[in-house]
């Protein structure tokens, strides 16, 4: 089959590109439904969970209006409320603007150490590794209480080995005045990078689909040529041909102008028949973590004002955060229950523990933090693995990414999206990337 454009993967980046290119593109997706990680699951008679936590937060009014027109009335404002649980108390996110929620001694130390860091560098943090950057930006006390333990728990990788470049877009370095305000007037919602956020909330109780998958569905409806259950088996860049299998039948797809891949970058390079051995060796060194999602369907009174999610810094607690699905959508569970999603990170190249062992530990920890009492009962637990989940951006990562892009470019192949770019990016950024790639290549073909 020949098409002007091919898109590999029907996550939000691939779907956005397919929407933009209309009938001139074919989108290939290995799963039976589109969306990639932007999908939802329903268990236990009406408990809804997103595959992973997603919020739509926009920085582009045009794209916001466009997505809003696709989703219609289900797109509801959802400025997030997130809490951080430390060994010295609770603080509203962002942590640095709410240190007054900590113990008095911890708050005062945070203020003093921030002053040292802030004025020592004259407001500039220049360290190139993530641990040094965090320390120079926020000072020792905030790092010891939150930034170091949480990031070490999330990445399962030495922070000294992580480069700064890819991780600062969602970090706000406040003025000293802002620090003082947060120290003495804490836990007041303040604008952050994701304040202008939305979440799909159908009004009907028995809606056939809930959660962020409604976004994927809305995009997929506008893709003219979407082929599901179609797994890419190999790529021959020299022939501009993709070899795939569907229901046991092999087929080939040739692109005339350009190909967009949203597959994880290391996987794409391994699929290329002419990838140099040196490049294959390099992509094998790229690092990431897995996320193990544990869904817990609870019957009982819902927690009071838990926030949309809570971060946990204590290394003895297995999860990095708990996500309260009913805070996003009150109808994400039956009225007499609530849906809880726990995220556990795991080193990318290590095998995960048994599902029962991990689930038992997570449930025990949920009880320990006071969210399950004697009047609550667990209706069901469910577990799935996201692999890759968080990219670990080491000091060699950008060089390897550049080498991959240089190899692909002569064949008209662009790798994009969160894992195609091998980066930490938001859903909005990935949708925007799909639209922009499609506009760019279409403009070239019309020239």
Mean pLDDT of the chain: 94
In a domain, 234, yes or no: yes
Rounded to two decimals, what is the model's pTM?
0.94
CATH label of the domain that carries residue 428: 3.50.50.60
Cis peptide bond upstream of 94, omega within 30: yes
In a domain, 194, yes or no: no
- Are residue 231 and residue 261 in the same domain, yes or no? yes
* Residue 121 in this model has a pLDDT that exceeds 90: no
In a domain, 58, yes or no: no
pLDDT of residue 167: 61
Cis peptide bond upstream of 388, omega within 30: yes
Q: Which of 350, 371, 392 marks a domain boundary? A: 392
- Are residue 271 and residue 412 in the same domain, yes or no? yes
Q: Which of 392, 408, 438 marks a domain boundary? A: 392
* Residue 410 in this model has a pLDDT that exceeds 60: yes
- Are residue 292 and residue 378 in the same domain, yes or no? yes
- Are residue 386 and residue 438 in the same domain, yes or no? no
In a domain, 369, yes or no: yes
* Residue 189 in this model has a pLDDT that exceeds 60: yes
> Pick the residue with more confidence: 258 or 170?
258
- To the nearest whole percent, how much of the chain has pLDDT over 90? 88
Beta bridge partners of 140: none
* Residue 246 in this model has a pLDDT that exceeds 90: yes
In a domain, 201, yes or no: no
**Cα distance between residue 422 and residue 445, in whole Å:** 27
Structure-token pair, residue 42: 């329903």
CA distances from 384 to 211, 214, 320, 352, 418 (A): 17, 20, 16, 11, 20
Residue pLDDT, tens place only, 50-61: 999 999 998 899
Structure-token pair, residue 19: 């929407």
In a domain, 67, yes or no: no
The count of other CB atoms within 10 Å of the CB of residue 447 is 5
- Are residue 118 and residue 263 in the same domain, yes or no? no
The count of other CB atoms within 10 Å of the CB of residue 385 is 13
> At 123, is the pLDDT very low, low, confident or very high (cuts 50, 70, 90)?
very low
- Are residue 331 and residue 254 in the same domain, yes or no? no
- Are residue 175 and residue 156 in the same domain, yes or no? yes
**Cα distance between residue 324 and residue 342, in whole Å:** 9
In a domain, 55, yes or no: no
Total structural domains within the chain: 3
**Domain enclosing residue 254, as ranges:** 2-34+223-284+396-446
In a domain, 79, yes or no: no
Q: Which of 392, 411, 436 marks a domain boundary? A: 392
Within 252-396, residue ranges assigned H as helices are 265-271, 277-283, 325-328, 355-368
- To the nearest whole percent, how much of the chain has pLDDT over 70? 96
Contact in structure between 322 and 312 (CB atoms under 8 Å) = yes
pLDDT of residue 124: 52
Residue pLDDT, tens place only, 347-374: 999 999 999 999 999 999 999 999 999 9
Residue pLDDT, tens place only, 275-307: 999 999 999 999 999 999 999 999 999 999 999
* Residue 196 in this model has a pLDDT that exceeds 90: no
| DSSP-assigned letters across all residues of 296-329 | EEEESPPPSS--SEEEE--TTSS-SEEEEHHHH-
- Are residue 308 and residue 360 in the same domain, yes or no? yes
- Are residue 116 and residue 177 in the same domain, yes or no? yes
- Are residue 372 and residue 295 in the same domain, yes or no? yes
- Are residue 230 and residue 308 in the same domain, yes or no? no
Reference 16, options 66, 61, 56; nearest CA is 66
- Are residue 251 and residue 292 in the same domain, yes or no? no
| DSSP-assigned letters across all residues of 12-67 | HHHHHHHHHHGGGEEEE-SSSSS-TT--EEEETTTEEEESS---EE-S-HHHHHHH
CATH label of the domain that carries residue 365: 3.90.660.10
Structure-token pair, residue 53: 């936590």
Q: Which helix (H) or strand (E) holds 250?
A: strand 249-261
pLDDT of residue 239: 98
Beta bridge partners of 200: 75
């Amino acid at each position: 089959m020949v098409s002007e454009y091919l898109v590999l993967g029907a996550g939000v980046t691939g779907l956005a590109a397919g929407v933009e290119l209309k009938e001139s593109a074919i989108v290939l997706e290995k799963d039976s439904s589109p969306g990639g990680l932007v999908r939802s699951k329903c268990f236990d008679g009406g408990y809804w969970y997103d595959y992973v936590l997603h919020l739509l937060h926009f920085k582009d009014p045009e794209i916001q209006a466009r997505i809003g027109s696709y989703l219609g009335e289900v797109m509801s404002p959802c400025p997030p409320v997130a809490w951080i649980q430390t060994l010295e108390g609770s603080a509203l996110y962002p942590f640095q603007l709410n240190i007054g929620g900590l113990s008095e001694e911890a708050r005062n130390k945070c203020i003093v150490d921030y002053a040292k860091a802030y004025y020592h560098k004259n407001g500039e943090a220049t360290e190139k590794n993530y641990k040094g950057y965090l320390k120079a930006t926020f000072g020792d006390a905030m790092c010891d209480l939150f930034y170091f333990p949480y990031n070490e728990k999330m990445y399962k990788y030495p922070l000294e080995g992580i480069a700064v470049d890819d991780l600062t877009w969602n970090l706000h370095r406040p003025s000293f005045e802002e620090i003082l305000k947060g120290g003495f007037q804490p836990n007041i919602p303040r604008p952050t990078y994701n304040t202008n956020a939305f979440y799909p909330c159908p009004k009907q109780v028995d809606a056939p689909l809930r959660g962020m998958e409604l976004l994927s569905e809305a995009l997929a409806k506008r893709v003219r040529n979407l082929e599901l259950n179609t797994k890419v088996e190999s790529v021959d860049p020299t022939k501009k041909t993709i070899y795939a299998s569907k229901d046991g039948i092999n087929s080939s797809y040739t692109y005339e102008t350009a190909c967009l891949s949203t597959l994880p970058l290391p996987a794409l390079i391994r699929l290329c028949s002419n990838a140099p051995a040196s490049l294959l060796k390099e992509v094998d060194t790229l690092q990431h973590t897995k996320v193990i999602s544990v869904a817990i369907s609870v019957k009982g009174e819902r927690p009071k004002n838990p926030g949309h999610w809570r971060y946990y810094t204590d290394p003895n607690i297995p999860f990095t955060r708990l996500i309260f699905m009913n805070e996003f959508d009150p109808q994400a569970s039956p009225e007499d229950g609530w849906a809880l999603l726990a995220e556990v990170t795991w080193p990318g190249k290590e095998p995960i523990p048994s599902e029962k062992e991990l689930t038992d530990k997570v449930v025990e920890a949920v009880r320990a933090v006071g969210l399950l009492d004697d009047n609550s009962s667990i209706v069901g637990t469910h577990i799935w693995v996201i692999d890759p989940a968080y990219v670990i951006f080491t000091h060699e990562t950008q060089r390897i990414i550049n080498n991959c892009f240089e190899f692909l470019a002569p064949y008209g192949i662009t790798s994009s999206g969160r894992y195609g770019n091998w980066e930490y990016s938001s859903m909005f950024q990935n949708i925007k990337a799909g639209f922009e790639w499609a506009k760019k290549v279409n403009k070239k073909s019309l020239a």
